[in-house]
Amino acid sequence: MLKINNLHAEVDGKPILKGVDLTINAGEIHAIMGPNGAGKSTLSYVLAGRPGYEVTEGSATLDGEDLLALEPHERAAAGLFLGFQYPVEIPGVSNLQFLRTALNAQRKSRGEAELSGGEFLKVARAQADGLGLNMDMLKRPVNVGFSGGEKKRNEMVQMGIIDPKLAILDETDSGLDIDALRVIGEGINRIMRTPEKGVLLITHYQRLLDYVQPHFVHVLAAGRIVRSGGPELALELEREGYGAIAA
Ligand SMILES: Nc1ncnc2c1ncn2[C@@H]1O[C@H](COP(=O)(O)OP(=O)(O)OP(=O)(O)O)[C@@H](O)[C@H]1O
Ligand SMILES: [Mg+2]
Protein backbone atom coordinates (compact mmCIF):
# COMPACT_ATOMS: atom_id res chain seq x y z
CA MET A 1 0.00 0.00 0.00
CA LEU A 2 2.73 2.49 0.98
CA LYS A 3 5.95 2.25 -0.98
CA ILE A 4 8.81 4.58 -0.13
CA ASN A 5 11.85 4.38 -2.34
CA ASN A 6 15.22 6.03 -1.73
CA LEU A 7 13.52 9.08 -0.27
CA HIS A 8 15.71 12.11 0.29
CA ALA A 9 14.35 15.33 1.76
CA GLU A 10 15.66 18.58 3.15
CA VAL A 11 14.40 21.36 5.36
CA ASP A 12 15.79 24.87 4.92
CA GLY A 13 18.46 23.42 2.65
CA LYS A 14 19.55 20.94 5.31
CA PRO A 15 19.40 17.29 4.21
CA ILE A 16 17.45 15.28 6.80
CA LEU A 17 16.22 12.15 5.01
CA LYS A 18 19.03 10.42 3.20
CA GLY A 19 17.57 7.48 1.34
CA VAL A 20 14.60 5.97 3.20
CA ASP A 21 13.20 2.71 1.86
CA LEU A 22 10.04 1.32 3.41
CA THR A 23 7.12 -0.77 2.20
CA ILE A 24 3.92 -1.21 4.18
CA ASN A 25 1.49 -3.76 2.82
CA ALA A 26 -2.22 -3.77 3.59
CA GLY A 27 -2.88 -5.38 6.95
CA GLU A 28 0.54 -4.50 8.35
CA ILE A 29 1.52 -2.44 11.35
CA HIS A 30 5.06 -1.08 11.32
CA ALA A 31 6.88 0.74 14.08
CA ILE A 32 9.71 3.19 13.57
CA MET A 33 12.01 3.90 16.46
CA GLY A 34 15.25 5.85 16.51
CA PRO A 35 17.25 8.52 18.28
CA ASN A 36 16.00 12.10 18.71
CA GLY A 37 16.64 14.13 15.60
CA ALA A 38 16.91 11.07 13.33
CA GLY A 39 14.24 12.33 10.94
CA LYS A 40 11.17 10.38 12.07
CA SER A 41 8.82 13.36 12.25
CA THR A 42 10.39 14.72 9.07
CA LEU A 43 9.43 11.50 7.30
CA SER A 44 5.83 11.88 8.48
CA TYR A 45 5.71 15.52 7.37
CA VAL A 46 7.18 14.76 3.96
CA LEU A 47 4.59 12.04 3.40
CA ALA A 48 1.77 14.33 4.52
CA GLY A 49 3.04 17.19 2.34
CA ARG A 50 3.89 19.79 4.95
CA PRO A 51 5.18 22.96 3.28
CA GLY A 52 8.91 23.59 3.69
CA TYR A 53 9.87 19.93 3.43
CA GLU A 54 11.48 19.45 0.07
CA VAL A 55 11.91 16.08 -1.55
CA THR A 56 15.18 16.03 -3.47
CA GLU A 57 15.23 12.41 -4.60
CA GLY A 58 13.18 9.23 -4.47
CA SER A 59 9.50 8.40 -4.47
CA ALA A 60 6.52 7.57 -2.29
CA THR A 61 3.32 5.97 -3.54
CA LEU A 62 0.06 5.05 -1.86
CA ASP A 63 -1.70 2.21 -3.67
CA GLY A 64 0.33 3.06 -6.73
CA GLU A 65 -0.54 6.75 -6.71
CA ASP A 66 2.34 9.24 -6.55
CA LEU A 67 1.82 10.75 -3.09
CA LEU A 68 4.45 13.43 -3.57
CA ALA A 69 2.60 14.90 -6.55
CA LEU A 70 -0.56 15.46 -4.51
CA GLU A 71 -1.57 18.46 -2.41
CA PRO A 72 -1.84 17.74 1.33
CA HIS A 73 -5.65 17.63 1.20
CA GLU A 74 -5.52 15.27 -1.77
CA ARG A 75 -3.24 12.96 0.21
CA ALA A 76 -5.80 12.96 3.00
CA ALA A 77 -8.57 12.21 0.53
CA ALA A 78 -6.45 9.35 -0.80
CA GLY A 79 -6.63 7.85 2.69
CA LEU A 80 -3.54 9.15 4.49
CA PHE A 81 -3.86 10.33 8.09
CA LEU A 82 -1.11 11.91 10.17
CA GLY A 83 -1.31 12.01 13.94
CA PHE A 84 1.02 14.80 15.03
CA GLN A 85 3.74 14.58 17.65
CA TYR A 86 2.59 18.03 18.71
CA PRO A 87 -1.11 18.43 17.82
CA VAL A 88 -1.92 21.99 16.78
CA GLU A 89 -4.48 24.20 18.50
CA ILE A 90 -7.06 25.90 16.28
CA PRO A 91 -8.79 28.66 18.23
CA GLY A 92 -12.28 29.58 17.09
CA VAL A 93 -13.03 26.31 15.31
CA SER A 94 -14.85 23.60 17.23
CA ASN A 95 -13.64 20.03 16.95
CA LEU A 96 -17.00 18.97 15.60
CA GLN A 97 -17.09 21.66 12.90
CA PHE A 98 -13.52 20.90 11.94
CA LEU A 99 -14.04 17.16 11.70
CA ARG A 100 -17.32 17.34 9.85
CA THR A 101 -15.81 19.70 7.30
CA ALA A 102 -12.72 17.51 6.90
CA LEU A 103 -14.70 14.29 6.63
CA ASN A 104 -17.22 15.66 4.15
CA ALA A 105 -14.52 17.25 2.01
CA GLN A 106 -12.83 13.86 1.80
CA ARG A 107 -16.07 12.01 1.11
CA LYS A 108 -16.94 14.51 -1.61
CA SER A 109 -13.60 14.16 -3.33
CA ARG A 110 -14.07 10.37 -3.30
CA GLY A 111 -17.51 10.75 -4.83
CA GLU A 112 -19.28 9.64 -1.64
CA ALA A 113 -22.35 11.32 -0.15
CA GLU A 114 -21.71 13.92 2.55
CA LEU A 115 -22.95 13.13 6.05
CA SER A 116 -25.78 15.21 7.48
CA GLY A 117 -25.34 16.88 10.86
CA GLY A 118 -27.23 14.07 12.56
CA GLU A 119 -25.37 11.27 10.83
CA PHE A 120 -22.05 12.91 11.59
CA LEU A 121 -22.90 13.33 15.28
CA LYS A 122 -23.64 9.62 15.55
CA VAL A 123 -20.23 8.75 14.12
CA ALA A 124 -18.50 11.32 16.33
CA ARG A 125 -20.25 10.13 19.47
CA ALA A 126 -19.33 6.50 18.80
CA GLN A 127 -15.67 7.38 18.34
CA ALA A 128 -15.55 9.68 21.35
CA ASP A 129 -17.12 6.95 23.51
CA GLY A 130 -14.66 4.39 22.19
CA LEU A 131 -11.74 6.55 23.29
CA GLY A 132 -13.19 7.82 26.53
CA LEU A 133 -13.36 11.44 25.38
CA ASN A 134 -16.31 13.45 26.65
CA MET A 135 -18.53 14.87 23.87
CA ASP A 136 -18.10 18.29 25.52
CA MET A 137 -14.44 18.15 24.48
CA LEU A 138 -15.55 17.78 20.87
CA LYS A 139 -17.55 20.97 21.16
CA ARG A 140 -14.51 22.94 22.30
CA PRO A 141 -12.10 24.63 19.87
CA VAL A 142 -9.65 22.12 18.41
CA ASN A 143 -7.09 21.21 21.09
CA VAL A 144 -7.23 24.66 22.71
CA GLY A 145 -6.44 24.25 26.39
CA PHE A 146 -6.44 20.45 26.11
CA SER A 147 -3.91 18.65 28.29
CA GLY A 148 -1.15 16.76 26.48
CA GLY A 149 -2.94 13.45 26.92
CA GLU A 150 -6.31 14.90 25.89
CA LYS A 151 -4.78 16.15 22.65
CA LYS A 152 -3.50 12.67 21.86
CA ARG A 153 -6.87 11.15 22.66
CA ASN A 154 -8.52 13.77 20.46
CA GLU A 155 -6.19 12.84 17.60
CA MET A 156 -7.38 9.25 17.87
CA VAL A 157 -11.03 10.36 17.85
CA GLN A 158 -10.20 12.30 14.68
CA MET A 159 -8.64 9.19 13.20
CA GLY A 160 -11.69 7.11 14.08
CA ILE A 161 -14.02 9.59 12.41
CA ILE A 162 -11.87 10.06 9.32
CA ASP A 163 -11.32 6.29 9.07
CA PRO A 164 -8.13 6.46 6.98
CA LYS A 165 -6.49 3.75 4.92
CA LEU A 166 -2.99 4.49 6.18
CA ALA A 167 -2.24 6.16 9.50
CA ILE A 168 1.12 7.59 10.47
CA LEU A 169 1.08 8.15 14.21
CA ASP A 170 3.95 10.27 15.50
CA GLU A 171 4.55 9.57 19.19
CA THR A 172 0.87 9.11 19.87
CA ASP A 173 1.91 7.49 23.15
CA SER A 174 3.90 10.43 24.49
CA GLY A 175 2.42 12.08 27.54
CA LEU A 176 -0.30 9.49 28.07
CA ASP A 177 -1.07 8.19 31.53
CA ILE A 178 -0.98 4.44 32.08
CA ASP A 179 -4.70 3.89 31.53
CA ALA A 180 -4.84 6.23 28.53
CA LEU A 181 -2.02 4.30 26.90
CA ARG A 182 -4.12 1.17 27.02
CA VAL A 183 -7.24 2.98 25.76
CA ILE A 184 -5.32 4.54 22.87
CA GLY A 185 -3.63 1.24 22.05
CA GLU A 186 -6.99 -0.51 21.92
CA GLY A 187 -8.37 2.36 19.84
CA ILE A 188 -5.60 2.03 17.27
CA ASN A 189 -6.25 -1.70 17.03
CA ARG A 190 -10.00 -1.24 16.74
CA ILE A 191 -9.79 1.46 14.07
CA MET A 192 -6.76 0.37 12.07
CA ARG A 193 -5.96 -3.32 12.58
CA THR A 194 -7.83 -4.66 9.55
CA PRO A 195 -6.68 -6.49 6.42
CA GLU A 196 -7.23 -3.37 4.25
CA LYS A 197 -5.35 -0.83 6.35
CA GLY A 198 -1.80 0.03 7.30
CA VAL A 199 -0.19 1.79 10.22
CA LEU A 200 3.18 3.41 10.79
CA LEU A 201 3.75 3.98 14.49
CA ILE A 202 6.56 6.31 15.45
CA THR A 203 7.49 5.69 19.05
CA HIS A 204 10.35 5.77 21.52
CA TYR A 205 9.06 3.10 23.81
CA GLN A 206 8.22 -0.57 23.76
CA ARG A 207 5.18 0.11 26.02
CA LEU A 208 2.84 1.11 23.20
CA LEU A 209 3.93 -1.91 21.20
CA ASP A 210 2.71 -4.18 24.00
CA TYR A 211 -0.80 -2.98 23.14
CA VAL A 212 -0.38 -2.46 19.41
CA GLN A 213 1.79 -5.34 18.33
CA PRO A 214 3.67 -4.45 15.17
CA HIS A 215 4.56 -6.87 12.41
CA PHE A 216 7.81 -5.03 11.74
CA VAL A 217 10.07 -2.68 13.67
CA HIS A 218 12.55 -0.34 11.98
CA VAL A 219 15.30 1.86 13.32
CA LEU A 220 15.70 5.25 11.66
CA ALA A 221 19.03 6.88 12.38
CA ALA A 222 20.60 9.88 10.68
CA GLY A 223 17.98 9.91 7.94
CA ARG A 224 18.09 6.24 6.97
CA ILE A 225 16.55 2.99 8.08
CA VAL A 226 19.56 1.20 9.47
CA ARG A 227 17.91 -1.91 10.80
CA SER A 228 14.59 -3.76 10.48
CA GLY A 229 13.22 -6.73 12.34
CA GLY A 230 10.21 -8.15 14.13
CA PRO A 231 8.73 -7.05 17.45
CA GLU A 232 11.73 -8.52 19.26
CA LEU A 233 13.88 -5.70 17.85
CA ALA A 234 12.00 -3.20 20.04
CA LEU A 235 12.80 -5.28 23.11
CA GLU A 236 16.44 -5.49 22.12
CA LEU A 237 16.61 -1.70 21.69
CA GLU A 238 14.98 -1.19 25.06
CA ARG A 239 17.69 -3.35 26.64
CA GLU A 240 20.68 -2.15 24.72
CA GLY A 241 19.92 1.32 23.38
CA TYR A 242 20.89 2.58 19.94
CA GLY A 243 24.63 2.71 20.59
CA ALA A 244 25.70 -0.24 18.48
CA ILE A 245 23.15 0.32 15.71
CA ALA A 246 23.07 4.05 15.20
CA ALA A 247 26.72 4.84 15.72
N1 LIG B 1 13.14 23.91 9.96
C2 LIG B 1 14.25 23.24 10.26
N3 LIG B 1 15.46 23.82 10.10
C4 LIG B 1 16.59 23.14 10.39
N5 LIG B 1 16.61 21.90 10.85
C6 LIG B 1 15.44 21.27 11.02
C7 LIG B 1 14.19 21.91 10.74
N8 LIG B 1 13.20 21.03 11.00
C9 LIG B 1 13.81 19.91 11.44
N10 LIG B 1 15.14 20.05 11.46
C11 LIG B 1 16.13 19.08 11.92
O12 LIG B 1 15.87 17.83 11.34
C13 LIG B 1 16.31 16.79 12.20
C14 LIG B 1 15.23 15.74 12.28
O15 LIG B 1 14.12 16.23 13.01
P16 LIG B 1 12.85 15.33 13.29
O17 LIG B 1 11.85 16.17 13.99
O18 LIG B 1 12.43 14.66 12.05
O19 LIG B 1 13.45 14.24 14.29
P20 LIG B 1 12.75 13.06 15.05
O21 LIG B 1 13.41 11.80 14.62
O22 LIG B 1 11.28 13.14 14.90
O23 LIG B 1 13.17 13.34 16.58
P24 LIG B 1 12.34 13.17 17.94
O25 LIG B 1 12.53 11.73 18.34
O26 LIG B 1 13.07 14.07 18.89
O27 LIG B 1 10.93 13.57 17.73
C28 LIG B 1 16.65 17.45 13.53
O29 LIG B 1 18.05 17.54 13.64
C30 LIG B 1 16.01 18.83 13.40
O31 LIG B 1 16.70 19.79 14.16
MG1 LIG C 1 9.74 13.56 16.14
- What are the respective helix, strand and coil percentages of the chain, to the nearest 5? 40, 30, 30
Contact 22, 30 (CB under 8 A): yes
In this predicted structure, what is the pLDDT of residue 247?
61
* Neighbouring residues of 240: CB distance < 8 A, sequence distance ≥ 6: none
* 44 pocket-lining for ligand 1 (C-beta < 6 Å): no
Supply the pTM of this predicted model: 0.94
- The CATH code of domain 2-240 reads 3.40.50.300
For a pocket test of ligand 1, which of 7, 36, 202, 225 has the largest count of ligand atoms closer than 8 A to its C-beta?
A: 36
Ligand 1 atom 13: the closest Cα is on which residue? Answer: 37
Ligand 1 pocket check for 40: Cβ under 6 Å: yes
Give 110 Cα–ligand 2 centroid separation in angstroms. Answer: 31
Count of alpha carbons within 13 Å of 100, Cβ hemisphere only? 19
For residue 40, how far is its CA from the centre of ligand 1 (angstroms)? Answer: 8
50 CA distance to ligand 2 middle (Å): 14
**pLDDT tens-digit profile, the chain (247 residues):** 999 999 999 999 999 999 999 999 999 999 999 999 999 999 999 999 999 999 999 999 999 999 999 999 999 999 999 998 888 899 999 999 999 999 999 899 889 999 999 999 999 999 999 998 999 999 999 999 998 889 989 999 999 999 999 999 999 998 889 988 999 999 999 999 999 999 999 999 999 999 999 999 999 999 999 999 999 999 999 999 998 776 6
Is 203's C-beta closer than 6 angstroms to any atom of ligand 1? Answer: no
Residue identifier of the C-alpha nearest atom 25 of ligand 1? 36
The candidate with the shortest Cα–Cα distance to 161, out of 198, 119, 201, is: 119
Distance 223 CA to ligand 1 centre (A): 10
| Torsion 36-240-25-85 (CA) sign | negative
